[in-house]
Amino acid sequence: VQTHLPAKLINGGIAGIVGVTCVFPIDLVKTRLQNQRQGQQVYKNMMDCLVKTVRSEGFFGMYRGAAVNLTLVTPEKAIKLAANDFFRQHLNKNGKGLTVFKEMLAGCGAGMCQVIITTPMEMLKIQLQDAGRLAAQQRKPAIMSTTKLVAANTVLSRSYNVGPSSAVRAVSATQIARELLHTKGIQGLYKGLGATLMRDVPFSVVYFPLFAHLNRLGQPSQDEAAPFYWAFLSGCLAGSTAAVAVNPCDVVKTRLQSLNKGVTEESYNGVVDCVRKIMHKEGPSAFLKGAGCRALVIAPLFGIAQVMYFIGIGEFILDQSPLNYLFV
C-alpha cells in the first residue's frame, strides 16, 4: 500500500520526537566521550558520564541541546524517510522489486538529502552538549590551571567561558546560531558538512537495505506485513549495525564541529587532518569512542520510527483532519 507523503512526514516527525526524548541523555554522553583526549579523561565510561553530568548539572543537564534536536528532528527524519521512499519508488518503475544495489542507491540519495538539516542541527547540538565537559575539565586541577578555555572563535567563547568554580553558563542554540551567522555566515552553520555526508550517506546505504531485508524475514507471506514487534526489532538491529559501522566518521564529525577546545586540545583543518591527528595521537581505538552509546541511541530511534509507520499514526491524524481532502 502506498503511503501518502504527508502521512510519512507526520510518522517520521512523531517518531523523531518520541525517540529523541527517550535517548537524548545517551547521545549527550556519546558527544562528551568522543571529544575526550587521552590523558584528559573527565569520564571513565557511559555510566560514569551520566552520573557526573546529573551530579554537576542536574537532571536537565542531560538534555542540554535537546531543544535543537526536538525542533529539527521532525524535518530531518521526514526528509530522510520520504527521500528514501521517493528514490525506491523511482528505482522500482518496472515493479519487479529492488536489487540490493538499487536499495543502497536509494539509501545514498536519502542520506545526501538529510544533511541539509542534519549539519546545522548537529553543529548547534554539539556545542551545547560539550559545554559541561569543558567546564568539568576546567574544574579538574590535575589536568589544567584556571586558565580560560581556548575557543575556536572569540565571539563564541563568550558563551562558554566559565570560571573554575562557577557553574556552566547557560547559552541557547539561538545565540550560537546568531553569532555563527554574524561572524562566519551560513557556512559557519555548515562546518563539518563533508564529515556529516561521510557519516550519513554510508549509514543510509547500510540501514535501509538491511532493514528491508530483516523486515522481509518476518513477513508471514508475500502480501502480509511483518508483525509489530518484528518491525521494531528490525529497525533496532539495522540501526545499531549501521551506527557502529559509521562510528569513525561520527568521531571525526564531532571533533570538527566542536568549536570550543580544552586548553591543550588540538584543532583540525578538515577531515583528512583530523583523521591523521587522531590516528597519530590516540591510535585507531579512538575512532570507536562512543560506539556503544551511538548504537544505544540509534537502535530505539529507528525502532520507534518503524513502529510509527507500522501503526500508521500519520494516516490516522490525516483521516481525522479537515485538511484530509487536500491530500487524497
pLDDT in tens, 141-158: 544 433 333 433 443 443
Residue 291: which of 324, 256, 247, 325 has the closest Cα? Answer: 247
Residue range 172-187: mean pLDDT, rounded: 88
205 pLDDT higher than 60: yes
Residue 140 has pLDDT above 90, yes or no: no
Beta-carbon contacts of residue 14 (< 8 Å; ≥ 6 apart): 308, 313, 314
CA atoms within 13 A on the CB side of 281: 16
- In this predicted model, which residue has the larger pLDDT, 321 or 159? 321
12 sits in which H/E element: helix 5-35
At 325 the pLDDT is 53
pLDDT band at 8 (very low <50, low <70, confident <90, very high): confident
Mean of pLDDT over the chain: 82
| 73 and 16 Cβ atoms separated by less than 8 Å | yes
What is the rounded distance in angstroms from the CA atom of residue 206 to the CA atom of residue 232?
A: 17
Query: Confidence band (pLDDT; 50, 70, 90) for 41?
Result: confident
Instruction: Determine the pLDDT at residue 320.
Output: 77
Note the pLDDT of residue 147.
38
Query: pLDDT tens digits, residue range 89-139?
Result: 888 887 778 888 888 899 899 889 989 999 999 999 999 888 888 888 777
Counting every residue written for the chain, the total comes to 328
226-249, pLDDT tens digit by residue?
A: 888 898 899 899 999 999 999 999
* Grid-cell match 590535575, residue found: 142
Question: Coil, strand or helix: which one is 323?
Answer: coil
Judged by DSSP in three states, 151 sits in: strand
Q: How far apart are CA 30 and CA 24, in angstroms?
A: 10
| pLDDT top residue among 144 and 2 | 2
pLDDT at site 324: 57
Query: What is the pLDDT averaged over residues 51-80?
Result: 87
- Crossing angle of helices 247-257 and 100-139, in 10° steps, is 50
CB within 8 A of 303, min separation 6: which ones? 232, 233, 235, 236, 239
